[in-house]
Amino acid sequence: MQPIPFELTLDELREISTLYPNIEKNSHVGHWAVYIVRKYYLSLDSNATFTNGKNGADIEVNYLGKTESFEIKGTNDKGLGWGKLKVSSLPCYNALVNGMKIIRVSNIGNPNVTLHFLEYNKDFTLEVEARWTIKPVIKAKAGRPKTHIKLIL
């Protein structure tokens, strides 16, 4: 694992806080993480470019003459927050087991964050968890409830 400390400027902190003020909301934390990863790569190469990831990746980064794809996960915890770290899609799973790295950005909401570059079978493994999606009861014509249950693996 390669933890890399990174500091946002006050202007950057103001900008991202204005766009995504609720760091208790998962989607806002995710946007913060992507923003921070972009700033990090621009600090390495001012000509870095970014595109939406393909085949399970969140982002593709072109920098210093190379291209890499990453899954980006953010947390407002100071540490890695292993218990909250989940992968939800099969394409992402496949990309990770085939070498794509996760960038875990911790301490979201603060100017001093840490980027953790995580590799499958070196820093983490993946375990299947069954999940249930909840659907509303739909009344059947005969007055008996019709239920929908879907198992996600």
Please give the chain's pLDDT, 153 residues, in tens: 779 999 999 999 999 999 988 778 788 899 999 999 999 999 999 999 999 988 889 999 999 999 999 999 999 999 999 988 988 889 999 999 999 999 999 999 999 999 999 999 999 999 988 778 788 887 766 655 555 555 555
pTM of the model: 0.83
Q: In the chain, how many domains are there?
A: 1
pLDDT of residue 152: 58
Residue 133: inside a domain:
no
Residue 142: inside a domain:
no
pLDDT of residue 53: 87
pLDDT of residue 151: 56
pLDDT of residue 148: 54
Partners of 69 in the beta sheet? Answer: 60
Residue 153: inside a domain:
no
Residue 140: inside a domain:
no
Q: By residue range, what is the domain housing residue 44?
A: 2-126
Residue 38: inside a domain:
yes
> E strand or H helix at 11, and its extent?
helix 10-19
Give the list of residues 6+ apart from residue 6 with CB closer than 8 angstroms, or none: 36, 39, 40, 43, 112, 113, 114, 115
pLDDT of residue 149: 55
Residue 150: inside a domain:
no
Residue 132: inside a domain:
no
CATH code, 42: 3.40.1350.10
Q: In this structure, is the dihedral angle defined by the CA atoms of residues 7, 3, 107 and 38, taken in order, positive or negative?
A: positive
Residue 134: inside a domain:
no
β pairing state of 101-106 and 66-74: parallel
